Structure 1
Amino acid sequence: MSGSTDGRAYIGSFTSAGGRGVIAVTVDPETGALTELGATDAVADPSFLALAPGGSVLYAVSETEEGAAAAFAVTGTGAPRPLGEPVPVCGAGPTHLTLAAGHLVTANYGSGSVTVLPLADGGAPRPASGVLQHEGAGPHPDRQRGPHAHQVVADPSGRWLLAVDLGTDSVQISSVDAASGELVPHGETALRPGSGPRHLAFHPEGSHAYVLHELEPTLTVCRWDAAAGVLEAVGETAVLPDGVETESFASEVVVALDGRFVWTANRGHDSISVLALDASREKAELVTTVPCGGRWPRDLALDPAGRRLYAANEHSGDVSWFDIDQETGIPAPAGSFAAPAASCVIFG
């Protein structure tokens, strides 16, 4: 490997299931191969990660009942180094986090809430400045008895936060008051009852978003109006072929850098779906599915060049990578890296 040109990536994993916490790896630019730099289990169950702009600080949720967020200094040569102690998020089971308006924001699945944490000089999170509690329920008897915020992302304009709530079949839209650090509710987009939305991804042009549902293997195409902060559902597409009998729970959605394809990861069916977008960005057509290279793909990530997909296969304990055919969007298996209880992959 040519060390000076290798990229960096970080793998999150469930320590409670035998994972090693946060693993730092190099990424070979020619082959996509991952090579370990170091790992740290200083934080319990760091199931989802995010990088600060510039890549010098790495953030992780601690997906525990108590719920916390933590920061690490990225050393570049070994395991990330903890920056202080994890900070409570005043919510249970945080599953996702993002940076917005100079704050760290977490989606708390267990409690169905979104939390804002100010950042100290140096990047470490401070005690929560705001918590927005979602309300409502859905028709699923077990999974939708109350709200379950599964993801929170900033829109491309940086003005809005969108929180995808599996329990209420909705996307909640808010903004961060930079002065007070509180979340200001703005709007809500209702999605089909019982679908269980889990994650969304924006089109590179910023005018559309694609919401992936966990409880039913479908993708909702939405228009996004950044000026008004309005998300409008305009269509829905199956992400698995007709006739599939395997129970499947979709996990992650990724959009190609050129905006031509959408990929989803499907747990149970243990596959990656390829969907083609038309010129309007509002019609998604299922092209094919390919095996994910393991079992229970919890996360799917595109490398910064848009050439490869990486699947974090939680139950088989590995991260598989795939070369993408740039004409068809179809991924071809290219390698695998052992990572017990892998839950996410991000690139630095």
Structure 2
Amino acid sequence: APAPPTAPRATRPLLLGTYTSEAGGGTGIGTAAYDTATGAITPGPVITGVDNPSYLALHPSGSTVYAVAEQEAGAVTAVGLAPDGTYEVLGSRSTGGSGTTHLSVHPSGRWLLSADYGSGSVAVHPIAEDGSLGERTDLVTHSSPPPGPGQGGPHAHQIVTDPDGGHVLAVDLGTDTVYTYALDESAGTLAEVSRAALAPGSGPRHLAFHPGGRFAYLACELDNTLVVCAYDPATGALTPGPGQSTGTGSGTSYPAQPVVTGDGAYVYLANRGPNSLTRYTVEDDGATLRLLDTVPVGGDWPRQLALSPDSSLLFAANQRSSTVTVFGVGPDGSLTAVGDPFPAPVAVCVLPLP
């Protein structure tokens, strides 16, 4: 009898953020496909008409992606994604700030949250049924506390909703503070309910929650630490613990971003200085991180990390080498480089779609 046909490997879309204004940068949002089994990436067309899309976020429906415009006149852009792989730029809205560096979609799917690094502000935009954006409903500037040592002002670097869906957290590198807000889901406005002070000059940049929702891991890019923070979903209070080693030795490692595996068992941290990934195992239901080792990232200046939806693959966007490197994630948390680095101009964000 003839051998049964080999089942085709599943591939899923992969989107790539870049700086269109930089030398050697891309011309828009890059598209590609990744093999869910091997991690191999194949290139696709570029979504043009989107300026400096340095960070990307997907709507819960999967039908719209949002991009920051990281430039003086901060903005956010919506792009519709059709099932056949075609796309349509749905328009942009001003954030009211400058240097938009991060965004996320509220789990309700009705609000887009964005962070402006240059102006140290965060903004909210309503999301229409078709995924397009309405006029901004709020803009909050981190006017206090005063900026940390060497900082000229506030620098909002990330804005996310907690796993419980009850609060929004904004990480500010300039004020060494994480702000917790309550989002009014009818008006699209933010009300501060708590703030967490980090060590002066630590430069908090990005946090990632443990799936249990009681702990978050915060990368501080100026003092080379990862901070385990306790979190109270009822009040939104974040309580930072002492800074933990990144395992990168002396020198400035510029940690960029932590990610947590879907089962909450491992944390990986990108270090831009030494071009490495730090591996931690999670203990005590999220309360403790134990440093395992560091692994070469295989590129230069890993600005952003992303896990595939099933946490079997880890993608690293390497800005200065203009590459995406891919690792297989073992059940024991091991990272094994797979394939050759994928060329992507000034790669600063990689978003694997489910």
Shorter-chain TM-score: which interval?
A: over 0.9
1:301 counterpart = 2:306: yes
Contact 1:39 1:78 in 2 (8 A): no
* Partner AA of 1:107 in structure 2: A
Tell me the TM-score normalized by structure 1.
Answer: 0.94
Cα 1:74–1:2 change in 2 (3 A) is farther
Contact 1:94 1:106 in 2 (8 A): yes
In structure 2, distance between residues paired with 1:152 and 1:105: 7
The corresponding residue for 1:235 is 242
Tell me the TM-score normalized by structure 2.
Answer: 0.92
Task: Name the SS of the counterpart of 2:317 in structure 1.
Answer: strand
Gaps of 5+ in 1: none
* Partner AA of 1:114 in structure 2: V
The corresponding residue for 1:108 is 116
Pick aligned residue for 1:182 from 174, 181, 189: 189
- Percent same amino acid among aligned pairs? 40
Contact 2:212 2:286 in 1 (8 A): no
Cα 1:308–1:34 change in 2 (3 A) is same
The corresponding residue for 2:178 is 171
Cα 1:67–1:303 change in 2 (3 A) is same
Q: How many residue pairs get matched?
A: 342
Task: Name the SS of the counterpart of 1:15 in structure 2.
Answer: coil
Q: How does 1:147-226 map to 2 (within 5 A)?
A: 147-226=154-233
Deviations 1:66-88 (A, max 9, x none): 010001111344453201x3111
In structure 2, distance between residues paired with 1:119 and 1:130: 13
The corresponding residue for 1:7 is 12
* Partner AA of 1:276 in structure 2: T
In structure 1, distance between residues paired with 2:291 and 2:206: 18
The corresponding residue for 2:335 is 331
In structure 2, distance between residues paired with 1:2 and 1:76: 22
* Partner AA of 2:130 in structure 1: G
Gaps of 5+ in 2: 1-5
Pick aligned residue for 1:61 from 63, 68, 74: 68
Pick aligned residue for 1:123 from 107, 113, 131: 131
1:134 counterpart = 2:146: no
Cα 1:227–1:160 change in 2 (3 A) is same
In structure 2, distance between residues paired with 1:241 and 1:339: 26
Deviations 1:260-283 (A, max 9, x none): 211110112111111122224222
1:50 counterpart = 2:57: yes
Contact 1:38 1:78 in 2 (8 A): no
1:260 counterpart = 2:269: no
Q: Which moved more, 1:270-279 or 1:156-165?
A: 270-279
1:88 counterpart = 2:94: yes
RMSD, aligned CA: 1.6
In structure 2, distance between residues paired with 1:8 and 1:272: 24
Task: Name the SS of the counterpart of 1:86 in structure 2.
Answer: strand
In structure 2, distance between residues paired with 1:80 and 1:265: 31
